[in-house]
């Protein structure tokens, strides 16, 4: 609709269509029109008061299609939709396009999104849930807009943390059976860290193991590394299933180590890198980016050198138009250094990479997990939240069988967690408060699921199949609902442009709030306008499901 308005006034105001579209506002109340064009900024150029400009425009322009009249109101030009026609067209479109409604086609770009990135032999913690939710949502948004997405994972499976794990397991836990259980795996690592901090001497033993892993000289250690690495990777299968994510490619640091070393040598030869106290560094002081260390003085390759090799590999293996790396904002500076280095080494297409940062997840009590020392483990967290959700669900309905209750509690928990993380700007640090995230009445995942289930039950109860409908005189809340529904595709585009799913999350909440107001104000099944209202409810259901789907949140037909 904004486009139609832009077309109708562009000649008179001498601006481009997109400039006009950006200026158009949605008035605070429908009585003031459905769209408003503010004339302030034209005043200087046209040498007229904004009030005069609005009056002139009103008399000069043609009424755009789908509108019933225009009104000049002070410095604004207000546009009133032909609301019945608008509602009819929109609802027809939603019911026809269903799960495609709101999508647009931006051209077949190939995008790699790297996200989640847990390390083997360590915890999959709450921060990983945030990164996984964000990455998955960005992937779904891109796909919705016609892009081809390659979901990539990248895990640290070498280095000191593995040496610590193996050292601790052999010394203190060798009687325990090896398990593909992330809680057990990370508990060994935590124990290692604790024991090492109590006795400095032990570090020598760990260093020795680290050397043996690096040069693969000890068969027993080598086997243990391979086996436990596999168990770690396997332990993530359940997590990704629960979170609704599947990767197309899983990279590992061990696979890019060798090439990382080679690249470092090439950079030394090209004088892009230099030696400093035995280490190899790239001096980025000139760009106020400090120093990036590629190789330790003992010759071991660092994270950075491996990342250079990884970037090269991503570009070689996939023809990419864009390549995103979703990871915590504590790596902001690091990625600036890395991208600068990629540019200096003239890596072709290095410009297509971007870092999509996100903030930390904390807990109100600053609570720490006993098992992992600092971070809360995925499995502990999900268990805790699910038990709480099960209680809340039981309060609402006592009759759910146990199996079903557990299933629903898990789905509600995942929705609550994902939503609480995605509703905020990704960059913001957040505090996860269980009882707030699981509140069925607030700006929460469960509230949205509940609204969806409510719409579903109205439709099911009505058992009404007629296809055609006629639009009656609309109640104000119905107009509001229709207009909100119509904004969906624009919201999706904005979320895409800003790598920010919170725009979709906030939209879903506003939409559900309007729907619930509508539900309280307007009877559906026992109304003369049953036909139309059912179509409206169904449209709401489709749009809410589409937006939750873009957030990676599965709806429940019943709650």
Point out which residues bind ligand ARG (CB under 6 A).
114, 117, 119, 154, 156, 307, 310, 325, 327
Measured from the CB atom, is 317 or 387 closer to ligand ARG? Answer: 317
Do residues 556 and 453 touch, judged by C-beta distance below 8 A?
A: yes
Least Å distance, CB 376 to ligand ARG, is 16
Q: What value does the CA radius of gyration of the chain take, rounded to a whole number of Å? A: 28
Q: What are the C-alpha distances in Å from 239 to residues 129, 219, 356?
A: 9, 31, 22
**What whole-number distance in Å separates Cα of residue 191 and Cα of residue 199?**
13
CA nearest to 26, candidates 490, 425, 471, 543: 490
Q: Which is nearer to ligand ARG, 45 or 429 (CB)?
A: 429
Q: Which is nearer to ligand ARG, 249 or 522 (CB)?
A: 249
Report the relative pairing of strands 279-283 and 274-276 from DSSP bridges.
Answer: antiparallel
Helix then strand count (H, E) for the chain reads 21, 13
Q: Which two tokens stand for residue 97?
A: 């396009």
Cβ proximity to ligand ARG: between 119 and 451 the closer is 119
Q: Smallest distance from the beta carbon of 154 to ligand ARG, in angstroms? A: 5
> Which residue carries 């005069």 as its tokens?
52
**Least distance to ligand ARG, CB of residue 164, Å:** 15
Q: Which residue's structure tokens are 């019911």?
A: 95
HEC sequence for 463-522: CCCCCCCCCCCCCHHHHHHHHHHHCHHHHHHHHHHCCCCHHHHHHHHHHHHHHHHHHHHC
- Measured CA to CA, the distance from residue 552 to residue 423 in angstroms comes to 12
Q: How far is the CB of 338 from ligand ARG (least distance, A)?
A: 8
In the complex with ligand ARG, the residue whose CB is nearer, 112 or 503, is 112
Instruction: Give the nearer residue to ligand ARG in terms of CB position, either 335 or 381.
Output: 335
Q: CB-based contacts of 512: which residues, under 8 Å, 6+ apart?
A: 447, 448, 451, 452, 544
Q: How far apart are CB 114 and ligand ARG at their closest, in Å?
A: 6
Q: What angle do CA 219, 223, 228 make, to 5 degrees?
A: 150
Which CB sits closer to ligand ARG, 310 or 524?
310
Q: Token pair of 357, please?
A: 């940062």
Find the shortest distance in angstroms from Cβ 334 to ligand ARG. Answer: 8
**150 close to 248: Cβ distance less than 8 angstroms:** yes
Burial 438-468 (b: 16+ CB within 10 A, else e): bbbeebbbbbbbbbbbbbbebbeebeeeeee
Q: Report the distance separating Cα 247 and Cα 47, nearest Å.
A: 59
Nearer to ligand ARG, 79 or 236 (CB): 236
Q: Determine the 3-state secondary structure of 84 from DSSP.
A: helix
Q: How far is the CB of 283 from ligand ARG (least distance, A)?
A: 21
Report the residue closest to ligand ARG, judged by CB: 117
Q: Which is nearer to ligand ARG, 92 or 259 (CB)?
A: 259
We find the least distance from the C-beta atom of residue 328 to ligand ARG, in angstroms, to be 7
**Residues in CB range of 29: below 8 A, 6 or more apart:** none
Smallest distance, Å, CB 552 to ligand ARG? 20
- Between 119 and 228, CB nearer to ligand ARG: 119
Task: Please identify which residue in the block is written with the tokens 């250079």.
Answer: 308
Nearer to ligand ARG, 350 or 529 (CB): 350
Smallest separation (angstroms) from ligand ARG to the CB of 251: 8
Query: Shortest approach of ligand ARG to residue 317 CB, angstroms?
Result: 15
């Amino acid at each position: 609709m904004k486009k139609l308005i832009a077309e109708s006034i562009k000649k008179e105001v001498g601006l481009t269509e997109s400039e006009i579209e950006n200026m158009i506002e949605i008035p605070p109340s429908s009585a003031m029109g459905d769209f408003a064009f503010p004339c302030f900024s034209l005043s200087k150029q046209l040498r007229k008061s904004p009030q005069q400009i609005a009056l002139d425009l009103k008399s000069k322009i043609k009424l755009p299609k789908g509108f019933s009249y225009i009104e000049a109101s002070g410095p604004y030009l207000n546009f009133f939709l032909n609301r019945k026609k608008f509602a009819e067209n929109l609802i027809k479109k939603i019911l026809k396009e269903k799960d495609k409604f709101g999508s647009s086609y931006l051209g077949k770009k190939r995008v790699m999104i790297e996200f989640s990135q847990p390390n083997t032999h360590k915890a999959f913690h709450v921060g990983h849930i945030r990164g996984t939710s964000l990455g998955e949502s960005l992937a779904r948004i891109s796909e919705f807009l016609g892009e081809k997405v390659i979901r990539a994972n990248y895990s640290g499976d070498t280095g000191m943390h593995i040496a610590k794990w193996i050292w601790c397991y052999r010394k203190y836990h060798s009687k325990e059976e090896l398990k593909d259980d992330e809680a057990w795996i990370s508990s060994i690592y935590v124990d290692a860290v604790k024991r090492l901090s109590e006795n400095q001497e032990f570090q020598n033993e760990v260093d020795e193991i680290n050397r043996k892993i690096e040069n693969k000289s000890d068969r027993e250690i080598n086997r243990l590394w391979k086996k436990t690495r596999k168990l770690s990777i396997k332990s993530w299968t359940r997590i990704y299933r629960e979170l609704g994510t599947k990767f197309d490619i899983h990279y590992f640091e061990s696979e890019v180590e060798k090439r990382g070393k080679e690249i470092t040598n090439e950079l030394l030869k090209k004088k892009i890198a230099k030696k400093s106290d035995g280490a190899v560094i790239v001096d980025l002081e000139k760009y106020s980016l400090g120093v990036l260390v590629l190789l330790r003085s003992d010759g071991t390759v660092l994270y950075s050198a491996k990342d250079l090799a990884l970037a090269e590999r991503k570009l070689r293996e996939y023809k990419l138009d864009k390549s995103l790396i979703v990871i915590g904002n504590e790596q902001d500076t690091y990625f600036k250094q890395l991208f600068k280095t990629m540019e200096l080494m003239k890596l072709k297409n290095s410009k297509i990479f971007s870092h999509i940062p996100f903030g930390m997840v904390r807990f109100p009590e600053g609570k720490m997990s006993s098992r992992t020392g600092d971070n809360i483990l995925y499995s502990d967290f999900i268990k805790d939240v699910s038990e709480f959700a099960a209680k809340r669900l039981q309060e609402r309905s006592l009759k759910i069988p146990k199996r079903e209750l557990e299933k629903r509690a898990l789905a509600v928990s995942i929705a609550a967690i994902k939503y609480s993380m995605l509703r905020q700007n990704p960059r913001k640090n957040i505090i996860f408060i269980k009882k707030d995230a699981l509140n069925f009445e607030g700006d929460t995942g469960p509230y949205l699921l509940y609204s969806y289930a409510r719409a579903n039950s109205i439709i099911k109860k009505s058992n009404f199949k007629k296809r055609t409908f006629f639009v009656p005189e609309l109640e104000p809340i119905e107009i509001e609902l229709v207009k909100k529904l119509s904004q969906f595709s624009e919201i999706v585009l904005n979320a895409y442009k800003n790598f920010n799913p919170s725009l979709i999350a906030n939209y879903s909440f506003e939409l559900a709030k309007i729907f619930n107001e509508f539900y309280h104000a307007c009877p559906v099944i026992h109304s003369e306008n049953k036909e139309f209202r059912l179509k409206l409810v169904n449209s709401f259901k489709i749009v809410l499901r589409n937006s939750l789907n873009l957030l990676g949140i599965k709806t429940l037909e019943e709650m």
